Structure 1
């Protein structure tokens, strides 16, 4: 079983993803007094072309290489926030009313509520385990990828998106204070353009920060 997204209400009832087009007032009011800072990126003019599959390159090789790169990027970005994203400041892994519960389907079967730092730590360890598994990510040239390799990539990138969403929702003010917002925006734009190019993260998964996604992807 994979982890799940829950929508929390004041009466503590938990429900799954809300209907499409539902408004998210917390998101719209929290963040986006910083809306003018979101488009600021570093040297990202060619990102739309950079994500496209190069001629003659195997699609699985391209997915694998970029997945590993995105993992390194998000690891470094989150590391700058570890002292600010704590079990006290972020007792739940959430983006506004959307809550993410952790499960890896192996050691943790039933999705459980954890703090944001615990969720991210579990996620990074899990991604590293996936990447180090040579059956999933073959290391030697010419070795075959599993027939369902894209499914592994989708699951990794879907979970990775949640870390970006949490950073923007809960920690963007701190990112601006640290003067790291241009770098964050560049990494996120690269990530979004790539997953959009190959349809690797569903629109429903992006719903908690739908407005931000649309702003970043705007030509």
Structure 2
């Protein structure tokens, strides 16, 4: 398998004057329902008795579970053609509208088909989740089972705190110093999969099988977690920005997830 996507995947823009895929119905409010009601903040916010690293690890696993369910929809094999919906012919590149995600092959950014890209991303994410260094399962001696020491004392560790280089998110639970950056890398690749699902497959199959509302639910949950913990940059999210702005306007993405998210909420309490 080629280099990990967190390091080698890059984003390029196709030099096309117009988007060949036509209108984006999923950016319109009437096509953006959810199959559930409620505030996603309740699923996103870290409980007070849980250490932040443990909670982020849980969120990564949960977000991958939801994404994998959506990817299975486009990986289902057509009994007539013998091919999955997303295949080498329908999706020769990993695209999201006019954007194409590339993979580093032999030191060069190369366009590969969407099914190959997604397969590599899924294998990479699973390998990360099962890596005992990144996602340790053994308890750390001498630390609380739930509270991080700093959080128990009322001092929350921010993603990058140059004043405390010896402290990082998840340290008291045994997570490595790179844990937060690794979480960002995983979530970035998950976002790219969502962007492809919408731009290439919203109509077929999600709209045709009436599962677009389930896709929306998974994506709103993903965006809420991403913004609340600063896991995916605004620049990275640009291919889906109109829909994200719509969900923010509708408060599907709760206001608490914006403007500092978790750390702003911690400072206010």
Give the TM-score of the pair, scaled to structure 1. Answer: 0.85
- Residue 68 in structure 1 maps to residue 69 in structure 2: no
Q: 1:155 maps to what in 2?
A: 185
Q: 1:16 maps to what in 2?
A: none
Q: Highest Rg: 1 or 2?
A: 2
The separation in 2 between residues aligned to 1:47 and 1:28, in whole angstroms, is 31
Task: From the superposition, tell whether residues 127 and 203 of structure 1 become closer, same or farther in structure 2 (CA, over 3 Å).
Answer: same
Contact 1:8–1:97 (Cα < 8 Å) also in 2: yes
Contact 1:30–1:169 (Cα < 8 Å) also in 2: no
1:158-197, aligned counterparts within 5 Å? 158-174=188-204, 175-197=206-228
Q: 1:4 maps to what in 2?
A: 10
Match of 1:135 among 133, 136, 142: 133
Task: From the superposition, tell whether residues 37 and 61 of structure 1 become closer, same or farther in structure 2 (CA, over 3 Å).
Answer: farther
Deviation at 1:173, TM superposition (A): 0.7
- Choose between structure 1 and 2 for higher RCO, CA contacts under 8 A separated by at least 6 residues: 1
Gaps of 5+ in 1: 11-23
Q: 1:98 maps to what in 2?
A: 99
The separation in 2 between residues aligned to 1:33 and 1:137, in whole angstroms, is 35
The separation in 1 between residues aligned to 2:223 and 2:8, in whole angstroms, is 22
Residues 49-89 of structure 1: CA deviation (Å, up to 9, x unaligned): 32111112111111101101111111111111122111100
Deviation at 1:151, TM superposition (A): 0.2
1:29-48, aligned counterparts within 5 Å? 29-32=22-25, 35-48=28-41
Q: CA RMSD in A?
A: 2.1
- Residue 121 in structure 1 maps to residue 92 in structure 2: no
Task: From the superposition, tell whether residues 35 and 7 of structure 1 become closer, same or farther in structure 2 (CA, over 3 Å).
Answer: same
Give the TM-score of the pair, scaled to structure 2. Answer: 0.70
